[in-house]
Amino acid sequence: MVNSIWLMIAQRLGLGLVTLFVISLLIFGAVELLPGDIAQEMLGQSATPETVAAFRRELGLDLPAHERYLNWLGGVVQGDFGNSLANGRPITDLIAGRLGNTLFLALYAAAIAVPLALVLGILAALYRNSWFDRAINVFTLSSISFPEFFVAYILIFYLAQSGLFPSIAKITPDATLGEKLYRTFLPALTLTLVVTAHMMRMTRAAIINLLASPYIEMARLKGMSPGRIIVKHALPNALAPIINVVALNLAYLITGVVVVEVVFVYPGLGQLMVDSVSKRDITVVQAASLIFACAYVLLNLTADVLSTLSNPRLVHKR
């Protein structure tokens, strides 16, 4: 069993590395397709052709695309993303603090969304077809139907305009944990409303699907209460799909924060990437995009492994 699990992890890691290689090609190709001359854009229209040519040589932009890609990929493998074209600072230094802020926001939202979704899903399954079930489904489907920026502006209108929470999530290095939680509550709540529906509905569907199983019927015949049947018997056997959807939504929380960070001017990796696009700082854009891709692939790997471990039929294959 242990060997099969390690083999599966090795296979998923190999597939993940291939996926990241393809994604790196797509990222580099997409940046190459950006219109205009990057050197000309950075120097301005008043720059002479000689100055632009010298600047292109300095940045290595005069090299063929495949050479620049191989140089960039070789540096990434060694943990060196290069330097920012806008200010010359090492990209690792620029990203370090921003990535920490993005992870803090994602974990904050996950700490609210995951328990809330599990509780709502269990209650919706327990009181299936009741007014509570219908109300929860309407609310979650409504929240998931709106784009993130719309939900964010609605929260700003009702909660920030009233003075309860700040509309700009300003984070300083010396801020305490309580201050960070308060200032980032609105962006965390926005992400929570967006991802809770997926996890709640999957929890509800997985549990309801198991309620017709013979062992559930046997538990009912023994006189067990509906709540105990769901928590003790149905929920453990429904963990595989629930873990999978939770992990996928955690991946979204990390990779899908770009819009939310821009709306709330949150100093995270998504905001840095958007600012770098406007400045034509392609090296930072490439690094941020690749980090988002790595986070998504790793969380997908985690979802596969945990789903397999939580399902005895997948662990003990015949």
pLDDT per position as a tens digit, 268-305: 888 888 888 877 788 888 888 888 888 888 888 887 77
pLDDT of residue 36: 66
8 A C-beta contact, residue 112 and residue 188: yes
**Residue 1 CA from chain centroid, whole number:** 31
Confidence category of residue 151, pLDDT binned at 50, 70, 90: confident
In sequence order, what are the beta bridge partners of 83? 90
Cβ-count burial 258-277 (b if 16+ within 10 Å, e if not): bbbbbbbebbbbbbbbbebe
pLDDT of residue 125: 82
End-to-end distance of the chain based on CA atoms, in angstroms? 11
Q: Is 70 exceeded by the pLDDT of residue 37?
A: no
Q: Is 70 exceeded by the pLDDT of residue 1?
A: no
In sequence order, what are the beta bridge partners of 90? 83
Q: Is 80 exceeded by the pLDDT of residue 311?
A: no
Q: What's the CA gap between 89 and 272, in Å, rounded?
A: 14
Q: Is 80 exceeded by the pLDDT of residue 267?
A: yes
Confidence category of residue 255, pLDDT binned at 50, 70, 90: confident
Summarize the confidence of residues 45-53 as an average pLDDT.
75
Tokens of 98: 């921003």
Higher pLDDT: 122 or 311? It is 122
Q: Is 60 exceeded by the pLDDT of residue 315?
A: no
Helix (H) or strand (E) holding 290: helix 282-309
C-beta neighbour count of 105 within 10 angstroms: 28
The CA distances from residue 42 to 55, 60, 197, 295, in Å, are: 10, 14, 44, 31
Q: What's the CA gap between 270 and 255, in Å, rounded?
A: 8
Which residues, other chains included, contact 77 with Cβ-Cβ below 8 Å and sequence gap of 6+? none
pLDDT of residue 9: 77
Summarize the confidence of residues 243-253 as an average pLDDT.
80
Q: What's the CA gap between 283 and 286, in Å, rounded?
A: 5
Q: Write the single-letter amino acid at 74.
A: G
Confidence category of residue 176, pLDDT binned at 50, 70, 90: confident
8 A C-beta contact, residue 62 and residue 56: yes
pLDDT of residue 6: 76
Q: What's the CA gap between 251 and 304, in Å, rounded?
A: 13
